[in-house]
Amino acid sequence: MLAVLFLTFAGTTNFAQNKSFSQPKRLLLLGDTPEETNENPRLMKEYFYPIGWSKDGKFAYYLEPPDEACGCYFGEIYIVDLRTDKVLWTKKYEGDMEKPEDLKSTWKKFQKLFSQKLNQYKIQAGKTFTLLGEAFEANGDSFKIDYFADVNLDEDPYNSKGSITVKMVSNKKGKKNLYQKTFKGENNAGILGSSLGGVLKSPFESRVAVIRVDTQRGWEGPPHVTKISVVGADLNKGFK
């Protein structure tokens, strides 16, 4: 069994530097409830598992996409730079339909690789994560996420039309754009809508991860599925 080494950092009681990273725990996003399952005939949700942060703006998380028809387990891990929103490393796993798998077995299978990459990018594992809503306070300021989504599929079941815009408003500094995308009815993966999943604040910096949840058309129509992504925001810079 891989040993886990915990070091204590002053002022970061919820975080520790790991040599081997343990399996993360699911965090319920805005609108999620513990009783929900992916047996819903209308919507199947992707599950979100935050892993940890670095001191220089990186954030790591794990996703469980829903199984629409394969009978397989799906898992994805991401390390992103919240300063640029660039994905620094990812691995996507599709299990064997003949073999029952889950997060526990998948994490055990790839624990060495996951830990190697997380340590490479100096990620420190979080023990607890506090999900913030669209309005929150930090650094003596009040912030609000303005999330605008007007997207539909019209006559084409796969190509979306409309736009998504995400802004951050500071009570003291003004506002700034965090994300914007326009859909012109071509070459799009059937986006039906989008919403705010919540906000997580770094324990090391004045920086947050804004969690986006897109709803996409299912493989053969309903049930539709959600897809999660993360946008970074500096709480001090870029406001006008």
Q: pLDDT by residue (tens digit) across 25-54?
A: 999 999 998 887 777 778 899 999 999 999
pLDDT score of 213: 97
Mean pLDDT of all residues in 53-63: 98
Give the model confidence (pLDDT) of 103-129 as tens digits.
999 999 999 999 999 999 999 999 899
Structure tokens at 165: 């815009």
Around Cβ 223, how many Cβ atoms within 10 Å?
A: 17
Q: What are the extents of the domains in the chain?
A: 15-126, 135-234
The pLDDT value given to residue 6? 32
pTM reported for the whole predicted model = 0.89
The C-alpha atoms of residue 18 and residue 122 are separated, in whole angstroms, by: 9
CA distance 104 to 124: 20
Confidence band (pLDDT; 50, 70, 90) for 17?
Answer: low
For residue 18, what pLDDT is reported?
58
